[in-house]
């Protein structure tokens, strides 16, 4: 009555109340299955609500306090099979605790800083892989609870450390036992500074008296794994085992070996890292240093929620998740 419901504007609780001849509170009671309302009025109100296609505003609800919370998940690219596996676990873990998940993809984004800032404005807590991890944190992220997955010792915010060193020792033993004598590492990155994974592998092999050679690729993609493998075998023809930085690259190596007619594991033993399902699809199935994504997600979500509730500090907190050797057919 006070305001004419001109079409276009979505209906509010007041529109429904007026149309049904009741008060706001009665509409609330009908919509939320609350007691203190008769069966007939409830049905009438619901009827009117449907008629006006009324949807309660999440903003109005959120303001009064009893709204669901949301986690912002930042991944690089869902097209890379690593991220969906993580995302799936995070969504499951969050759903279990009654939280929602809002997703952002940094790959191909025009302005990543703006993207992350927007996500931070829409979510209560952030989890993920912002690409500018090595440098300073996004300035829009100060004061925002953030859990970095695959954190280093000095990354800002909270962090889940993914530690492969112990599993790397197991892999070294395994490769040597299978007869590897001229192992190689297909690492990622530029220049001579190895990744954590790479360093662990090199050290584990060296410690056992079977030093490995190292080849690097710029990207950690399927294609770069394939070309990296070709370059590696050209430079070091005697190599009889390859540890790839991750499973996706290892699949690339596998493809290159198929095309070169090199048998895996007959002539070359191959291992990856991450434990993706992808590794069971290729032939032979990939031996890998597997990560329990459910555990990673539980750790990250738990930490993020703790930060939100104030029981976990916003900086410096760390949880460690260990890889474990998963022997399949490629070694």
Partner DNA sequence: GGCCAGCTCGTGAACGTTCACGACCCGCTC
Partner DNA sequence: GAGCGGGTCGTGAACGTTCACGAGCTGGCC
Q: Contact residues for DNA (CB under 7 A)?
A: 3, 9-10, 12-14, 21-28, 31-32, 34-42, 54-57, 59-61, 63-66
With beta carbons less than 8 A apart as the criterion, state whether 296 and 89 touch. Answer: yes
Record the tokens describing residue 206, joined without a space. 């060296």
> Could you give the 3-state DSSP secondary structure of residue 83?
helix
Q: Which does 84 bind (CB under 5 to 8 A by kind): its own copies, DNA, none?
A: its own copies
Q: At what angle do helices 196-207 and 165-177 cross, to 10 degrees?
A: 40
DSSP H helices in the chain: 13-20, 24-31, 39-51, 58-64, 82-96, 112-122, 165-177, 196-207, 222-235, 247-260, 278-281, 293-309
User: Under the criterion CB under 8 A, does residue 118 sit at the interface with its own copies?
Assistant: yes
The stretch near its own copies (CB under 8 A) out of 52-60, 183-191, 192-200, 238-246 is 52-60
Record the tokens describing residue 61, joined without a space. 């609800």
Q: Which does 25 bind (CB under 5 to 8 A by kind): DNA, its own copies, none?
A: DNA
User: Under the criterion CB under 8 A, does residue 121 sit at the interface with its own copies?
Assistant: yes
User: Under the criterion CB under 8 A, does residue 127 sit at the interface with its own copies?
Assistant: no
List C-alpha distances in Å: 272 to 140, 179, 207, 251, 312: 36, 18, 20, 8, 34
User: Under the criterion CB under 8 A, does residue 255 sit at the interface with its own copies?
Assistant: yes
Give me the 258-297 binding string for its own copies, x by CB under 8 A, dash otherwise.
Answer: x------------------xx-xxxx--------------
Q: Which is nearer to DNA, 143 or 191 (CB)?
A: 143
| Spatial distance between the Cα atoms of 316 and 325, rounded to a whole number of angstroms | 29
User: Under the criterion CB under 8 A, does residue 32 sit at the interface with its own copies?
Assistant: no
* Chain positions contacting its own copies, by CB under 8 A: 8, 50, 53-63, 67-68, 70, 73, 77-79, 81, 83-85, 87-88, 91-92, 95, 100-105, 108-109, 115, 118-119, 121-122, 142-144, 222, 251, 254-255, 258, 277-278, 280-283, 310
């Amino acid at each position: 009555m006070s305001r004419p419901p001109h079409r276009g504007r979505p209906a509010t609780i007041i529109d429904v109340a007026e149309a049904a001849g009741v008060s706001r509170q009665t509409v609330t009671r009908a919509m939320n299955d609350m007691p203190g309302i008769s069966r007939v009025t409830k049905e009438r109100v619901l009827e009117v609500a449907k008629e006006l296609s009324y949807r309660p505003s999440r903003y109005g609800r959120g303001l009064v306090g009893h709204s669901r919370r949301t986690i912002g998940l930042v991944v690089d690219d869902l097209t890379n099979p690593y991220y969906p596996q993580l995302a799936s676990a995070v969504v499951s873990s969050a759903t279990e605790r009654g939280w929602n998940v809002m997703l952002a993809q940094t790959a191909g984004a025009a302005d990543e800083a703006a993207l992350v800032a927007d996500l931070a404005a829409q979510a209560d807590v952030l989890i993920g892989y912002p690409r500018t991890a090595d440098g300073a944190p996004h300035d829009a992220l100060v004061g925002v609870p953030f859990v970095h997955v695959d954190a280093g010792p000095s990354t800002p915010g909270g962090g889940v450390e993914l530690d492969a060193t112990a599993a790397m020792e197991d892999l070294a033993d395994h490769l040597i036992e299978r007869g590897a004598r001229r192992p190689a590492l297909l690492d990622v990155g530029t220049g001579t500074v190895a990744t954590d994974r790479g360093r662990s592998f090199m050290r584990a092999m060296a410690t056992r008296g079977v030093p490995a050679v190292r080849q690097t690729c710029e990207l950690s993609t399927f294609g770069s794994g394939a070309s990296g493998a070709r370059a590696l075998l050209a430079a070091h023809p005697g190599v009889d085992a390859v540890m790839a930085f991750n499973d996706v690259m290892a699949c690339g190596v596998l493809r290159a070996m198929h095309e070169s007619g090199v048998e895996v594991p007959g002539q070359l033993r191959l291992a990856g890292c991450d434990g993706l399902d992808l590794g069971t699809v290729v032939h032979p199935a990939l031996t890998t240093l597997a990560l329990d994504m459910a555990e990673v997600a539980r750790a990250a979500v738990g930490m993020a929620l703790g930060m939100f509730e104030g029981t976990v500090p916003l900086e410096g907190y760390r949880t460690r998740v260990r890889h474990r050797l998963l022997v399949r057919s490629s070694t």
